[in-house]
Amino acid sequence: MNEKEPVPAKATLRETLEFAAVWLLVRALGLLPRRLARAVGAEIGEAAYSALGRLRKVGLRNLRLAFPGRSDALRERTLREEYRHLGWLLAEFCLMPRYTKESASEFIRYEGLENYLHARDKGKGVLVLTGHLGAWELSSFYHSLAGHPMGMVIRRLDNPLVDRFVNNIRCLHGNRVIHKDDFARGLIASMRAGETVGILMDTNMTPPQGVFVPFFGVEACTASGMARVAAKTGAAVVPGFLLWEKSEQKYVLRFGNELPIVTTGDAERDALTNTAAFTATIESYIRQYPGQWLWMHRRWKTRPAGEKGIY
């Protein structure tokens, strides 16, 4: 939605006010120089860390599960770092409408692009395995700026005005949204057309869409759709994450090697095996960049039958 578009007549007052607040924030941060916008974003992240005690508690609980041998002080430092990165991501999102390939390439570089291109050139479609790690919103946006638009599997935001506004920014350079309520059909069609689709595969799910696989040594209910579509279509699965490299003061859009897909003829077993492998890959990236993952998400909320809740 741009500033000249009318607000849909069916919007509630609350939705309209929420949209106005989001629009003003994006507009305000988007007008600032990038360095200043990121500094403001970091302050917003720090304020959120201090104010949102419930989410902070979830984050620390998750860090205890994932890193039981670390000290409380180190876990708290990791969580604070996450909030700073989220503030930076907020700033980058607000600035995205201004970015060109040339301007964004000053602070983003590729690593392993050949892995993606090789998988794409097979012609059976590419599933980019990713998660809420690093600057995930900027990741697909930069890839589209570089001439590689892609589909993105996205959950609809509760506010339809904000959902439309955010998706318009995401799709400025050819990206397209595949909503989770049209997941299977849209994904299979995209793979048969030889397209690329990114899937954030690190959120809590519920059966039957989710299966339990280890994540940091704890069973986590995880979406099995990517594994099923890859097995059905022959699409390539390639890990892809946009990660902040402190030593370079740059983001690196890193594509890993294509992941092998196990196909034994037992569809359910294969879905479980491949989902576990995908989840282990995500975990390996998080372990390298623990301060850049979304620790306040209740990743282990769904438990196997009869098991006590974690949160």
How does pLDDT run across 243-268, given as a tens digit for each residue? 999 999 999 999 999 999 999 999 99
Contacts of 22 (CB under 8 A, 6+ apart): 162, 165, 166
CA-CA distance, 63 to 308, in Å (whole number)? Answer: 18
pLDDT of residue 50: 97
- The model's confidence at residue 179, banded by pLDDT at 50, 70 and 90, is confident
pLDDT of residue 310: 96
Largest CA distance in the chain: 55
Q: What is the residue-averaged pLDDT of the chain?
A: 95
- The model's confidence at residue 4, banded by pLDDT at 50, 70 and 90, is very low
Q: Which two tokens stand for residue 22?
A: 């989001």
pLDDT at 2 over 80: no
Average pLDDT of the residues in 25-48? 98
Cα-Cα end-to-end distance for the chain? 37
Sheet of strand 126-130, all strands in order from the earlier edge strand to the far edge = 108-111, 250-255, 236-245, 126-130, 196-200, 151-154, 176-179
pLDDT of residue 3: 39
- The model's confidence at residue 6, banded by pLDDT at 50, 70 and 90, is very low
CA-CA distance, 33 to 285, in Å (whole number)? Answer: 31
Average pLDDT of the residues in 230-246? 97
Parallel, antiparallel or unpaired: strands 250-255 and 236-245: antiparallel
- The model's confidence at residue 8, banded by pLDDT at 50, 70 and 90, is low
Share of the chain above pLDDT 90, in %: 93
Judged by DSSP in three states, 213 sits in strand
Closest by CA position to 18, among listed 132, 163, 176, 174: 163
Contacts of 248 (CB under 8 A, 6+ apart): none
Judged by DSSP in three states, 210 sits in strand
Model confidence pLDDT, tens digit, residues 103-158: 999 999 999 999 999 999 999 999 999 999 999 999 999 999 999 999 999 999 99
pLDDT at 269 over 70: yes
pLDDT of residue 180: 79
pLDDT at 198 over 70: yes
Share of the chain above pLDDT 70, in %: 97
- The residue ranges of DSSP E strands in the chain, in sequence order, are 108-111, 126-130, 151-154, 176-179, 196-200, 210-215, 218-223, 236-245, 250-255
pLDDT at 1 over 50: no
- The residue ranges of DSSP E strands in 49-195, in sequence order, are 108-111, 126-130, 151-154, 176-179
- The model's confidence at residue 11, banded by pLDDT at 50, 70 and 90, is confident
Model confidence pLDDT, tens digit, residues 275-287: 999 999 999 999 9
Q: Which two tokens stand for residue 47?
A: 């304020």
Residue 222 main-chain phi, psi, to 5 deg: -130, 140
pLDDT of residue 9: 53
Residue 165 main-chain phi, psi, to 5 deg: -60, -50
Average pLDDT of the residues in 58-82? 98
Looking up tokens 């000053």, which residue turns up?
106
Contacts of 79 (CB under 8 A, 6+ apart): 49, 56, 59, 60, 63, 295, 296
* Phi-psi region at 251: left, alpha or beta (left = phi > 0; alpha = psi -120 to 50): beta
